[in-house]
Amino acid sequence: MADSNNKWYGDELYFGLHYDLHANANDTDLGTRADPETLIPLLKLMKPQWVQTDCKGHPGMTSWFSEVPDATVSPGTVNDAMAGWRAATRELGIPLHCHYSGISDTAASMKHPEWCVVEKDGTILDGNVAESSFPPRNGIMSPFGPYADKLLIPQMLELVDRYGVDGFWVDGEIWAVNADYSDTAKKAFAEQTGITEIPDKVGDPNWNTWMQFQRDAFHNYVTHYCDVVHDHNSNVRICSNWLQTFRHPGEPNVPTDWISGDNVWVWGMDGSRCETRFISTRGKHWDIMLWGFYKIGPLHNWRMPWVFKPVQMLQQEASVTLAMGGSVQIYEHGGKLRDGDLVPWRMSRMGEVGEFVQKRRELCQNTETIPQVAVLHSEHHYYTDFERPFPLPRERGTPVQAATFALLENHFGVDILDEWALLPRINDFKLIVVPERFNMSEDMVQALKQYVEQGGSLLLTGAEVYDRFGADFIGAESITVEEDVDYHVPARSGAAPIYSKTWRMLKPTSAISNGRVLKTARLDTHLTEYAAATINQYGEGTVAYIPCDVFGFFYDTRYPLISEFIGELAQQITGKLPIRYSGPTGVDMVLRQKDDRTLVHLINLTSGLPNSPSAGAIDEIPQIGPITVEIDRATPPTSVGLAFEDGAFKWTYQHGTIIATLDRLHIHAAIVVE
């Protein structure tokens, strides 16, 4: 079960502002424009319902006058910006949170290298280590050390007592965790497990036990500061950035009060499409933080200046979160403005986004999924045999993301669930997709077999998955496994090329072959004798199997023919679903319910400007359509309407089916059935 700490402010607080500066040693004028007289008129342009303001960033320096003995105050802190933000938010009647960097703290690492993570070669990850990659390797605090009790917790309590801050959004956490080989960590591991020989690489005996120990230490660290702050003031809200999200599958038992993460600065739509479908299963209030600004290229390419996003780009990004039941906040950064000043025209743009968000609150909040397709994001697979305690999604999650994209392009209603969330409700879904998750738990394997036996539909992919489920279940004999090959598979309008690191060559036994593996794009010649996919009846249900890493490849290419191949196979094994879409490809359909209302959200993902590697903006979203949605329903509806937009809309009820037609969709509309 999820923890009982799930405090928010009620439904009314739905749209927020996040502002940070990451104060550093080069600052000279921090706080000089952060007085309430300056802030209040600018905040009124945006109308945020809560604010998260600068406090302590990754350099570890505060932009306020902390008196904690181990604090490092930026030499550029001139005025007390925290006091200004507190006065402004009090006058506006909205909560104030602090952006506080946790595990990542360069200043603390330089003062106290003994607080830092130690690598297996003895390197201390203090500020002297050059940062050459992400995740970072410099200025990393150890969860086994005294950092939380000596600095993090005292500063949080200082902020609560001196300024009455209402919450903390703790940054620099899960993505900054490195395995700690300090004597303290190794001793604790030996005492807990009885293992005295510490593994130092993937494949060593007890490696996964060692990594789980490191994950548990981070969980305990976050739990500790949550408990202490909550004991001090139970009304304070705490979030650890990206904890209990797609990049952190597994039981959400750390007692944070809500879930949040900041989306990437550009090309972030796909990240939100996956994160929202996973976070919405965690049982807590949640939001996605949208970067209000973007640039092309790497985050730390200082030659590429930042630019603020167009309003419609932010509205499109927000729609993905709103449709899945989450709240929205927007990240604003001063850039070269280090004095706390805000830019009026940017605040006005965010105000337009806020109006868009608020218009959707009543229908979008407190909804539940209408289960159709579940994509398995196995926590056992995600963490097994990985070199760090916490992978990044791009390192272990891409097949899950790609499966989600392919299914959405075929207009299925999709949720992403880990084993913790899926096992109790496995029979709710018409189709379960397992995208190359061969290291799932044995409990999950057996549950999926039982699910199929009792009438469910299952789609498995990846050569290695065959060994987990067996020839009888899949209904095919494995003849050989080829390495580093590319073949074609047949799709409705052609043949899709797929490269796979491993490709299992199958001959059906009880299964039927869903097309044959092709050596070329010709559909009538150069065929192999092996199945491109198999479909097997097992008990009362059906299992389909694609014997290659189709989703790993689709993530890198997004070839439409592969999406078509997947969609055809999924449709074949699920049959006619109760809610069906027809219309342009570039629309996500999101299926939700609220009380007795059925909500079919439609989100336009297209762009006015052509996308390219050097053009990440969504400037002016073109209207698209027509769109038809069919909803099977045993009794006639009381009403069917269109929410949020004003396109021409009509509906009929015939022979147990609602047929609703919308002539055009701009950004985000919803069909509402009562």
SS3 of 616-649 = CCCCCCCCECCEEEEEECCCCCCCEEEECCCCCE
**Interval 174-186 mean pLDDT:** 97
- Phi first, then psi, for residue 562 (nearest 5°) are -70, -40
Q: Residue 264, exposed/middle/buried by CB under 10 A (0-12, 13-18, 19+)?
A: middle
- On whether both 432 and 458 belong to a single domain, the answer is yes
Of the residues 364, 393, 419, which one is the last residue of a structural domain?
A: 364
**Interval 20-24 mean pLDDT:** 96
The residue among 71, 60, 30 whose CA lies nearest residue 136 is 60
Q: With 70 as the cut, is the pLDDT of residue 3 above it?
A: no
Considering the chain, what is the average pLDDT of its residues?
Answer: 96
Q: With 70 as the cut, is the pLDDT of residue 132 above it?
A: no
- On whether both 200 and 273 belong to a single domain, the answer is yes
Q: With 80 as the cut, is the pLDDT of residue 295 above it?
A: yes
Q: Is residue 118 part of a domain?
A: yes
The residue among 208, 212, 204 whose CA lies nearest residue 177 is 212
Cβ partners under 8 Å of residue 555, min gap 6: 398, 399, 401, 402, 405
- On whether both 261 and 115 belong to a single domain, the answer is yes
Q: CB count, 10 Å around CB of 462? A: 26
The residue among 673, 637, 628, 629 whose CA lies nearest residue 656 is 637
Q: Is residue 72 part of a domain?
A: yes
- On whether both 380 and 486 belong to a single domain, the answer is yes
Q: With 50 as the cut, is the pLDDT of residue 4 above it?
A: no
What pLDDT is attached to residue 616?
A: 87
Per-residue HEC secondary structure of 428-449 comes to HCCEEEEECCCCCCHHHHHHHH
- Phi first, then psi, for residue 630 (nearest 5°) are -110, 135
Paired residues of 652 in beta bridges: 659
pLDDT tens for 514-526 read 999 999 999 998 9
Q: Is residue 8 part of a domain?
A: no
Q: Residue 135, exposed/middle/buried by CB under 10 A (0-12, 13-18, 19+)?
A: middle
Q: In whole angstroms, how large is the CA radius of gyration of the chain? A: 26
Q: Is residue 146 part of a domain?
A: yes
- DSSP E strand stretches across 135-184: 167-171
- On whether both 46 and 59 belong to a single domain, the answer is yes
Of the residues 364, 385, 400, which one is the last residue of a structural domain?
A: 364
pLDDT tens for 23-32 read 999 999 999 9
- On whether both 159 and 282 belong to a single domain, the answer is yes
pLDDT tens for 429-456 read 999 999 999 999 999 999 999 999 999 9
Tell me which DSSP letter residue 588 carries. Answer: E
Strand pairing report for 167-171 and 237-240: parallel
**Interval 262-281 mean pLDDT:** 95
Q: With 50 as the cut, is the pLDDT of residue 1 above it?
A: no
Of the residues 318, 342, 364, which one is the last residue of a structural domain?
A: 364
- On whether both 246 and 129 belong to a single domain, the answer is yes
**Interval 12-21 mean pLDDT:** 97
The whole-angstrom separation of Cα 111 and Cα 141 is 12
Instruction: Please state which of the ranges 52-66, 465-479, 598-612 shows the lowest mean pLDDT.
Output: 598-612
Confidence category of residue 565, pLDDT binned at 50, 70, 90? very high
- On whether both 543 and 587 belong to a single domain, the answer is no
- Phi first, then psi, for residue 49 (nearest 5°) are -100, -10
Q: With 90 as the cut, is the pLDDT of residue 229 above it?
A: yes
The whole-angstrom separation of Cα 170 and Cα 98 is 8
What pLDDT is attached to residue 613?
A: 78
Tokens of 379: 């926590």
Cβ partners under 8 Å of residue 618, min gap 6: 310, 312, 313, 316, 607, 608, 609
- Which CATH number does the domain housing residue 389 bear? 3.40.50.880
Q: With 60 as the cut, is the pLDDT of residue 491 above it?
A: yes
The whole-angstrom separation of Cα 128 and Cα 117 is 13
Q: Is residue 604 part of a domain?
A: yes
- On whether both 350 and 393 belong to a single domain, the answer is no
Cβ partners under 8 Å of residue 46, min gap 6: 17, 347, 348, 350, 351, 354
Tell me which DSSP letter residue 264 carries. Answer: P
Q: Is residue 7 part of a domain?
A: no
- On whether both 387 and 312 belong to a single domain, the answer is no
Confidence category of residue 400, pLDDT binned at 50, 70, 90? very high
CA atoms within 13 A on the CB side of 511: 29
- For residue 476, the surrounding DSSP H or E stretch is strand 476-491
pLDDT tens for 185-205 read 999 999 999 999 999 999 999
Q: With 90 as the cut, is the pLDDT of residue 97 above it?
A: yes
Confidence category of residue 653, pLDDT binned at 50, 70, 90? very high
Can the peptide bond before residue 626 be classed as cis, meaning omega within 30 degrees of 0? yes
Confidence category of residue 2, pLDDT binned at 50, 70, 90? very low
Tokens 């593994």 — which residue? 199
The one-letter amino acid at 587: V
Q: What percent of the chain has pLDDT over 90?
A: 93
Cβ partners under 8 Å of residue 477, min gap 6: 471, 506, 507, 508, 509
pLDDT tens for 343-397 read 999 999 999 999 999 999 999 999 999 999 999 999 999 999 999 999 999 999 9
* Host domain of residue 596: 579-673
Per-residue HEC secondary structure of 181-242 comes to CCHHHHHHHHHHHCCCCCCCCCCCCCHHHHHHHHHHHHHHHHHHHHHHHHHHCCCCEEEECC
- Which CATH number does the domain housing residue 648 bear? 2.60.40.1180
User: Does pTM surpass 0.85?
Assistant: yes
The residue among 335, 292, 337 whose CA lies nearest residue 317 is 292
- On whether both 489 and 593 belong to a single domain, the answer is no
The one-letter amino acid at 400: V
What pLDDT is attached to residue 485?
A: 97
Q: With 90 as the cut, is the pLDDT of residue 474 above it?
A: yes
301 or 619, greater pLDDT: 619
The residue among 452, 407, 450, 432 whose CA lies nearest residue 542 is 452
Q: CB count, 10 Å around CB of 302? A: 7
- On whether both 583 and 570 belong to a single domain, the answer is no
Q: Is residue 4 part of a domain?
A: no
- Which CATH number does the domain housing residue 44 bear? 3.20.20.80
Q: Is residue 391 part of a domain?
A: yes
Per the structure, how many domains does the chain have?
Answer: 3
CA atoms within 13 A on the CB side of 598: 20
Can the peptide bond before residue 135 be classed as cis, meaning omega within 30 degrees of 0? yes
Strand pairing report for 657-662 and 627-632: antiparallel
pLDDT tens for 492-518 read 999 999 999 999 999 999 999 999 999
